[in-house]
């Protein structure tokens, strides 16, 4: 129900594209909150949204990011930029090492190239979804493929970017 572009088939005709609950889920996740739902056929659904107090959010440590790219200059440049922005960054050069990091550490964000040695970005994305579903994933590639982008976004990726990056 809370996936992008997904609506349940009901007798009533609904307008919209199926983004409302997905947007709410992203907003709540950004504020480190939770969504609970209770549903009963014929009676309806109740959503309960809980968002932590702003003071609690301020005490959260710097966001933890694992950054995966096989290009050394991109690892260095973007890794430094993320650190300068206040993130705790773990930089790795291949998909195999990324999978090990995700299995052994907790991250707020996985930022990964698509085409990588040992395991590609889509494999990493699927693994993160299974292991840590609340971890955001942003995929990037120098070989922009609309099919990959649509698949990743529909499956819950936070974003999909193409390289080179605009400055």
**For the segment 62-88, what is each residue's pLDDT rounded down to a tens digit?**
789 999 999 998 899 889 988 888 889
pTM: 0.61
pLDDT tens per residue across span 84-140: 888 899 999 999 999 999 999 999 999 998 889 999 888 999 999 899 888 989 888
Question: Where does residue 68 rank: exposed (0-12), middle (13-18), buried (19+ CB within 10 A)?
Answer: buried
Q: Are 158 and 137 in contact (CB under 8 A)?
A: yes
DSSP 137-157: EEEEESS--HHHHHHHHHTT-
Q: Which percentage of the chain shows pLDDT scores above 70?
A: 75
Spell out the alpha helix ranges (H) of 19-67.
20-30, 54-58
**Integer Cα distance of 86 and 109 in angstroms:** 13
């Amino acid at each position: 129900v809370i996936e992008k572009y997904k609506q349940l088939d009901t007798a009533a005709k609904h307008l919209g594209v199926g983004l409302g609950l997905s947007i709410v889920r992203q907003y709540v996740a950004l504020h480190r909150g939770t969504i609970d739902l209770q549903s009963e056929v014929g009676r309806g659904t109740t959503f309960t949204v809980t968002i932590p107090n702003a003071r609690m959010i301020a005490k959260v440590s710097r966001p933890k990011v694992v950054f995966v790219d096989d290009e050394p200059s991109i690892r260095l440049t973007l890794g430094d930029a993320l650190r300068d922005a206040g993130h705790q960054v773990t930089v790795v050069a291949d998909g195999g090492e990324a999978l090990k990091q995700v299995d052994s550490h907790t991250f707020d964000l996985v930022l990964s190239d698509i085409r990588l040695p040992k395991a590609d970005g889509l494999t990493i994305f699927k693994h993160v979804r299974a292991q840590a579903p609340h971890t955001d994933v942003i995929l990037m590639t120098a070989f922009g493929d609309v099919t990959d982008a649509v698949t990743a976004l529909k499956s819950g990726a936070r974003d999909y970017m193409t390289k080179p990056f605009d400055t």
